[in-house]
Structure 1
Amino acid sequence: MDDPVEDVLAGVGPRLRALRRARGTTLAELAGETGLTASTLSRLENGRLHPTLEQLLPLARAHGVPLDDLVAAPPTGDPRIHLRPVRRSGLVLVPLTRRAGGIQAYKVVYPPAGRAVTRKLQTHEGYEWFYVLNGKVRFVLGEQEYLLGVGEAAEFDTRIPHNIGSADSRPAELLTLFGPQGEHAHLGPSKP
């Protein structure tokens, strides 16, 4: 009789090798990213070593995949993201993604201009993209000020001093994508 646990573990190595090769990464480069030795990685990929959780977690992070993908976990059934709004600094943030790392999506509701907490220009690492869903937005980027309405979007390097808020007496609702430093939010087909 087949052992389902053994079958799952036997499939991890080939998936690890395929992910590494798809990224064009060597064992030595992956070792540097994960803190695992190249020898351990080789034995994991060849099935001579059964993976532990301590080994799979940094590998999933390095490859940018959920842990479930490494072990071919069966689907859990419900793919919906259960929205839990969070209030922070006068804003309402609704997370729309649940994976760690990479680009994160949020719906952000800015309070009306008269009730907003006065915000100074801020800077931080990364890139941001936003799309105005409802209301009017006052967007300050460096020395420039822009007014954006429903259907307009902006993308910018967050190292440039910036501020976003409602431009009038109504709340402003935005769909926002935050990316780590160097990761732009590219929409549509890439150009050659």
Structure 2
Amino acid sequence: MGGAEDDVLAGVGPRLRALRRSRNATLAGLAAETGLTASTLSRLETGKLRPTLEQLLPLARAHGVPLDDLVAAPPTGDPRIHLRPVRRSGMTVIPLTNRPGGVQTYKVIYPPASRSRTVKLQTHDGHEWFYVLNGHVRLVLGTQDLRLGPGEAAEFDTRTPHWIGSAGPHPAELLTMFGPQGERAHLSPRPGGQ
């Protein structure tokens, strides 16, 4: 192997580290999820170990990305975006950005509210901004319990205990931006102050 292949493999480690960090996963947690050792994962991320297909397949599955994303396969010339929805805890998450690290954008669909659902507040590093497309959303943020409808947006530091879910009998659809390092959405006023 040489040239282009070496360049492709050299880029795998940083992409793996960025994906793991964007999910706030530890090496130990990812090891349990993939069946690879934490030592192997560390060596893959630092480039001390050349990745094999047997290692990349469970990593792609764990991170919820196509194998092509891990190796940065060259574009095929097709400009269409191939969205791959992921279901987690009853909600559907559709990644709208296709690069590891930095601000990530998702369309999130929360299932209809149920009376048996318990609110479990969570915290993690980062900053989140969301815009309600359809339905109503309940946002529990620290001691606040808010209800947002279509056209409303919220932005918060995810180190504040929080929970988001549908607030009604219908699914709620959100456009969400998440920055793992605390990046914030910046909105500019309309020209003329409108």
Q: After TM superposition, list the pairs within 5 Å mapping 1:90-169 onto structure 2.
A: 90-114=90-114, 117-169=117-169
Report the TM-score, using the length of structure 1 for normalisation: 0.59
Q: Report deviation, 1:116.
A: 7.1
Q: In 2 relative to 1, CA 94–117 (structure 1 residues): closer, same or farther, beyond 3 Å?
A: farther
Q: Distance in 2 between matches of 1:174 and 1:187?
A: 17
Structure 2 SS opposite 1:113: coil
Identity %: 67
Please tell me the residue identity of whatever aligns with 1:154: A
Runs of 5+ consecutive residues of structure 1 not aligned to the other structure: 1-5, 10-50, 62-72
Asked if the contact 2:15–2:100 (Cα under 8 Å) also holds between the matched residues in 1, the reply is no
Q: In 2 relative to 1, CA 115–78 (structure 1 residues): closer, same or farther, beyond 3 Å?
A: farther
Q: Distance in 2 between matches of 1:188 and 1:81?
A: 27
Q: Over aligned residues, Cα RMSD in angstroms?
A: 2.9
Q: 1:126-153 deviations in whole A, cap 9, x for unaligned?
A: 0111000000111111111111110111
Please tell me the residue identity of whatever aligns with 1:92: T
Q: In 2 relative to 1, CA 145–74 (structure 1 residues): closer, same or farther, beyond 3 Å?
A: closer
Moved over 3 A (4+): 51-61, 73-76
Q: Distance in 2 between matches of 1:88 and 1:74?
A: 29
Please tell me the residue identity of whatever aligns with 1:180: P
Q: After TM superposition, list the pairs within 5 Å mapping 1:2-81 onto structure 2.
A: 52-53=7-8, 76-81=76-81
Q: In terms of Rg, which structure is larger?
A: 1
Residue 186 (str. 1) matches residue 157 (str. 2) = no
Q: Distance in 2 between matches of 1:137 and 1:78?
A: 35
Residue 175 (str. 1) matches residue 175 (str. 2) = yes
> Which deviates more from structure 2 when the two are superposed, residues 148-157 or residues 174-183?
174-183
Q: Distance in 1 between matches of 2:157 and 2:75?
A: 37
Runs of 5+ consecutive residues of structure 2 not aligned to the other structure: 17-72, 190-194
Q: In 2 relative to 1, CA 94–145 (structure 1 residues): closer, same or farther, beyond 3 Å?
A: same
Q: In 2 relative to 1, CA 52–173 (structure 1 residues): closer, same or farther, beyond 3 Å?
A: closer
Q: Report deviation, 1:56.
A: 5.5
Q: Report deviation, 1:186.
A: 2.2
Please tell me the residue identity of whatever aligns with 1:87: R
Q: Distance in 1 between matches of 2:185 and 2:168?
A: 28
Asked if the contact 1:81–1:97 (Cα under 8 Å) also holds between the matched residues in 2, the reply is no
Q: Distance in 2 between matches of 1:83 and 1:60?
A: 19
Please tell me the residue identity of whatever aligns with 2:136: K
Asked if the contact 1:122–1:161 (Cα under 8 Å) also holds between the matched residues in 2, the reply is yes
